[in-house]
Amino acid sequence: MKLQKYEKYKDSGVEWLGEIPEEWEVKKLKYVVNMIRTGTTPSTQNPNFFDGNIDWFNPKDLNQSMLKNAEKKVSNLAIERKEIKLFPANSILIVGIGATTGKTAYLAKNATFNQQITGFKSFTHKNKFLFYLLKNSSKIFLKIANYTTLPILNNEFFKSYILPIPPLHEQTKIADFLDQKTAQIDKAISLKEQLIEKLKEYRQILINNAVTKGEIRKANDNCLSFVGSEPKSMCDSTDDGDYHIKMKDSGVKWIGEVPEHWEVKKFRYLFSFSKGLNITKENLQEKGIPCVNYGEIHSKYGFEVDPLKHPLKCVNEEYLETSQKSLLKKGDFVFADTSEDIEGSGNFTCLNSDVPTFAGYHTIITRAKKSFNYRYIAYLFDSEAFRNQIRNRVKGVKVYSITNAILKDMLICLPTNTEQQNIVKYLNNQTQKIDKAISQQQKQIEKLKEYKASLIDSVVTGKVRVS
48-59 per-position pLDDT tens digit:
999 999 999 999
How would residue 228 be classed by pLDDT, with cut points 50, 70 and 90? very low
State the Cα–Cα distance between residues 74 and 222, nearest whole angstrom.
55
What is the reported pLDDT for 249?
A: 87
Residue 219 has pLDDT above 60, yes or no: no
State the Cα–Cα distance between residues 396 and 403, nearest whole angstrom.
12
- The class that CATH gives domain 263-414 is alpha beta
State the Cα–Cα distance between residues 158 and 140, nearest whole angstrom.
12
Residue 149 has pLDDT above 70, yes or no: no
Residue from 405, 399, 299, 267 nearest 345 by CA: 399
Spatial CB neighbours of 271, under 8 Å, sequence gap ≥ 6: 333, 366, 367, 368, 369
Strand partners, 165: 25
Residue from 238, 259, 335, 355 nearest 294 by CA: 335
How would residue 145 be classed by pLDDT, with cut points 50, 70 and 90? low
Domain boundary assignment for the chain: 25-165, 263-414
What is the reported pLDDT for 146?
A: 60
Q: Looking only at Cα atoms, what is the longest distance across the chain? A: 87
What is the reported pLDDT for 224?
A: 43
How would residue 256 be classed by pLDDT, with cut points 50, 70 and 90? confident
- Yes or no: say if 456 and 132 are a contact pair by the CB < 8 Å rule: yes
Residue from 463, 284, 261, 271 nearest 360 by CA: 284
Strand partners, 348: 335
Residue 290 has pLDDT above 60, yes or no: yes
State the Cα–Cα distance between residues 358 and 124, nearest whole angstrom.
61
- Identify the top-confidence range among 108-112, 233-237, 308-312: 108-112
Residue 186 has pLDDT above 80, yes or no: yes
In the predicted model, what is the mean pLDDT of residues 214-221?
A: 61
Give the rounded percent of residues in the chain with a pLDDT score beyond 90.
Answer: 72
The least confident of 116-120, 140-144, 216-220, 355-359 is 216-220
How would residue 233 be classed by pLDDT, with cut points 50, 70 and 90? very low
User: What amino acid is encoded at 126 in this protein?
Assistant: K
Give the rounded percent of residues in the chain with a pLDDT score beyond 70.
Answer: 92
State the Cα–Cα distance between residues 213 and 208, nearest whole angstrom.
8
State the Cα–Cα distance between residues 310 and 56, nearest whole angstrom.
41
Residue 302 has pLDDT above 80, yes or no: no
Using the 8-state DSSP alphabet, how is residue 97 labeled?
B
State the Cα–Cα distance between residues 209 and 215, nearest whole angstrom.
5
Q: Per residue, what are the HEC states of 122-156?
A: CCCCCHHHHHHHHHCCHHHHHHHCEECCCEECCHH
25-165 against 263-414: fold identical? yes
How would residue 147 be classed by pLDDT, with cut points 50, 70 and 90? low
- CA 131 vs. chain centroid, Å, equals 25
DSSP state letters, 26-84? EEEGGGT-SEEEE-----TT-GGGEEEEEEEE-GGGGGSSEE---SEEE-HHHHHTTSS
First vs last C-alpha separation in the chain: 6
The least confident of 126-130, 131-135, 152-156, 169-173 is 152-156
How would residue 100 be classed by pLDDT, with cut points 50, 70 and 90? confident
- 375-398 pLDDT per residue, tens: 999 999 999 999 999 998 888 777
pTM for the predicted model, two decimal places = 0.82
Instruction: State whether residue 244 is helix, strand or coil.
Output: strand
Task: Decide: residue 134, CB within 10 A, 0-12 exposed, 13-18 middle, 19+ buried.
Answer: buried
**CATH H-level superfamily of 25-165:** DNA methylase specificity domains (3.90.220.20)
What is the reported pLDDT for 1?
A: 58
What is the reported pLDDT for 234?
A: 36
What is the reported pLDDT for 277?
A: 94
What is the reported pLDDT for 369?
A: 92
State the Cα–Cα distance between residues 38 and 96, nearest whole angstrom.
9
Task: Decide: residue 25, CB within 10 A, 0-12 exposed, 13-18 middle, 19+ buried.
Answer: middle
Instruction: State whether residue 366 is helix, strand or coil.
Output: strand
Question: Nearest 10 degrees: CA dihedral of 233, 239, 240, 241?
Answer: 20
Question: Nearest 10 degrees: CA dihedral of 49, 54, 58, 64?
Answer: 170
Spatial CB neighbours of 398, under 8 Å, sequence gap ≥ 6: 340
Average pLDDT of the chain, as a whole number: 89
- Yes or no: say if 313 and 284 are a contact pair by the CB < 8 Å rule: yes
- Yes or no: say if 358 and 312 are a contact pair by the CB < 8 Å rule: no
What is the reported pLDDT for 255?
A: 85
How would residue 188 be classed by pLDDT, with cut points 50, 70 and 90? very high
What is the reported pLDDT for 232?
A: 40
Residue 223 has pLDDT above 90, yes or no: no
